[in-house]
Structure 1
Amino acid sequence: MRELVSRRGFLKAGAAAAVLGTAGAVGTPTAFAASDSAPQQQRPQRDKHRVPHEAVSIQLYTMRDLMDADLEATFAGLAAIGYRKVEQAGFHGRTAREFKAALDAYGLHATSGHQSPYPYDESRWRKMIEDAYILGQRYMVEPLPAFIATGLFSPLVPPSLAWGQYAQDLNKAAEQARIFGIEVGYHNHNPEFLPLPDDPSRTGYDILLAETDPGLVHFELDIYWAWRAGQDPVELLEAHPTRFRQFHVKDMDENGNITAPGTGVIDFARVFQAAADLGITEYIIEQDNAGQSAMETARLGFDLLSTIRW
């Protein structure tokens, strides 16, 4: 089994992160350093688990260029590959009902969606919940709250008070969604893992984990972004075994950039093995920069999740 990333790939990724202003968060995670020198016999390969077919999904943000050109043809292509679940990221000029009808025509179901409750406004959020309910979503997931968007590729990070206030907004949003049988989640990028300017011993992710209600808010772990920020996803899973419900399965090339799933250096089997008994319900393929090659990304991702064993 490969390590989570190769040593060469990790070093290149760290160098790239430094250029982008995230060097303070990128460093060799403890688990990487330990496993890199561990004897092979201490890490036996197993073939007892696989990703259940019903847990395979794709984030439609990956397909956005193709969807803008021809929504129905894109859905037909995904269905032909074998997808039955998707995570929506907008309706591409349709209403929620029209979007659902297009999905239904090809046997697809939007079980999850990226919808932001920030800034929290009850009437605005209620409309998003109604749309999610029409689609039959189980999850509504915060993709990237606007108050940290400027920190995605820079060292600008909001102070702890902003994170604490947002954690309470997530709790309020989740209370509203629960009325409709929908669970609220949080999807990470990398600013969440940077040291806070007013308390460098903590991160925004620390605050979200501590101050969101475990009974209301779960976390969608983007494996690429966690590693990109210098975090070992396995350590996150082990430290917070009850908080994660969804994965974004996104790969990294040796320079630290996003690449097609299964073509990069991330050892997804190692992460999936750590999560085998943690109640992960969706493994969601994503490639932000797929562009016109998005259908090939979808195929590669489906093949990866259909064949991977651990």
Structure 2
Amino acid sequence: MSDKKLSRRAMFRTAAGAAAAVGLAGAMSGTAHADWGWRGRRIPRQMLSIQLYTLRNLFEADLEGTLEALADIGYRTVELAGTYGRSAAEFRRLLDRYHLKATSAHVSFDGADVDQLIEDAKTLGYRKAACAYANYSTLEEWRAFAGRLDKAAAAFRRAGISYGYHNHAHEYQAIDGVRPIDVIAENTSPRNVHLEYDLYWVVDGGADPVEEYFRRFGRVLQFHVKDRAEGGGWADVGTGTIDWASLFRRTWTGPMKQYIVEHDNPADPLNTAKVGFEYLANLRF
């Protein structure tokens, strides 16, 4: 093991580990909603993942050490957001080395070689992917986007990969009385396009995540579990204002069984990853 990796692991197990204990203490206090005295269901470990965008700055500095730290936390599955200068085959070998499995990825189809994206997906091993972002000012543009999305998703489906759409807040803001999220849903086939709900952005957009889940029942296959601070910003999972126990209990029915930790701009990404994993692994609902 290199000195660089040893330094990374030592840092993780001391400073980040200590910070995580503080974070978890906060997560178990008033702003978190897990009922630790009631023995309810738990999220199985294989359903807990993390969006690697959360750790992008660490990956740029030390890719292998950061993957190793995620494995030390307990993660076994991850959602990709690029391969940091490695080929698909090279990144797959790194994941295998640290006993991590890519179950999903954010990949943009618009203007891309969809056939190549599909080949990379097969190499990396994931069977779910999603368009991470789109934003248009008119309903006509949103409808045209939905048509392109459906066509690309159909190609992914034929290759055995489910392709979906990941929301932000603006898709819940009406244009001429119609929400873009509804345009996407109504102009794509449920057979082709699933939905990955970023729960922070659903709430930030003024929608009820449970209502939205059942509005598109059967199409929501992934949750981004991102917490919301008192002031409206991002928070480590379990330390913010979203009532995760109630939300998960009310949306347990159906095919959605992937819970992906995320934070858009964490001060300490490894601590964020650890706090999120341990909170969700121990949450009962």
Normalised TM-score (structure 2): 0.85
Alignment of 1:41-80 (within 5 A): 47-80=39-72
Q: 1:131 to 1:249 in 2, by over 3 A?
A: same
Tell me, in whole angstroms, the C-alpha distance in 2 between the residues paired with 1:173 and 1:240: 20
User: What is residue 201 of structure 2 aligned with on the other side?
Assistant: 225
**Number of the residue aligned with 2:76:** 84
Provide the secondary structure at the position in 1 that maps to 2:222. strand
- Secondary structure at the counterpart of residue 86 of structure 1: strand
Cα deviation, residue 46, structure 1: 6.7
Q: Does 1:100 align with 2:92?
A: yes
Would you say the 8 A contact 1:219–1:243 is kept in 2?
Answer: yes
In structure 1, stretches of 5+ residues that fail to align are 1-8, 10-44, 149-156
Number of corresponding residues: 250
Identity of aligned residues (%): 41
> Aligned match of 1:287 in 263, 279, 283?
263
**1:85 to 1:162, Cα distance in 2 relative to 1, 3 A:** same
Q: State the shift of 1:281 in Å.
A: 2.2
AA matched with 1:52: P
* Equivalent-residue separation in structure 2 for 1:126 and 1:205 (angstroms): 26
Secondary structure at 1:255 match in 2: coil
- Which residue number corresponds to residue 181 of structure 1? 160
- Contact kept, 8 Å, 1:195 with 1:203, in 2: the verdict is yes
Partner SS for 2:178: strand
Residue 116, structure 1, aligned to residue 105, structure 2: no
Residue of structure 1 equivalent to 2:235: 259
Asked whether the 8 Å contact 1:115–1:142 carries over to 2, the reply is yes
State the secondary structure of the residue aligned to 1:195.
coil
One-letter code aligned to 2:215? A
Counterpart amino acid of residue 136 in structure 1: G
Residues 76 and 101, structure 2, Cα contact 8 Å, conserved in 1:
yes
Secondary structure, aligned partner of 1:92: coil
Q: CA deviation at 1:219?
A: 0.4
Matches of 2:148 and 2:244, distance apart in 1: 32
* Aligned residue number for residue 215 of structure 2: 239
Question: Any idea what SS the aligned residue of 1:73 has?
Answer: helix
Normalising to structure 1: TM-score of the pair? 0.78
Name which of 107, 131, 151 aligns with 1:142.
Answer: 131
Match of 2:186 in 1: 210
> What secondary structure does 2:254 align onto?
coil
Q: How big is the alpha-carbon RMSD for the aligned residues of Structure 1 and Structure 2? A: 1.5
**Residues 170 and 60 (structure 1 numbering): CA distance in 2 closer, same or farther, change over 3 Å?**
same
Segments of structure 2 that go 5 or more residues without pairing to the other structure are: 1-30, 32-36
Listed one character per residue, the Cα deviations across residues 126-174 of structure 1 (whole Å, up to 9, x for unaligned) are 11111111101111111012xx1xxxxxxxx521111111111111111
Deviation at 1:47, TM superposition (A): 4.1
Q: Distance in 1 between matches of 2:169 and 2:54?
A: 19
What does the per-residue CA deviation read over 1:227-277, in whole Å, with 9 as the maximum and x for residues that have no partner? 011111011012221110000000111110011111111111121112111
Question: Given that residues 86 and 109 in structure 1 are in contact (C-alpha distance below 8 angstroms), is that contact kept between their aligned partners in structure 2?
Answer: yes
Q: Matched residue of 1:246: which SS?
A: strand
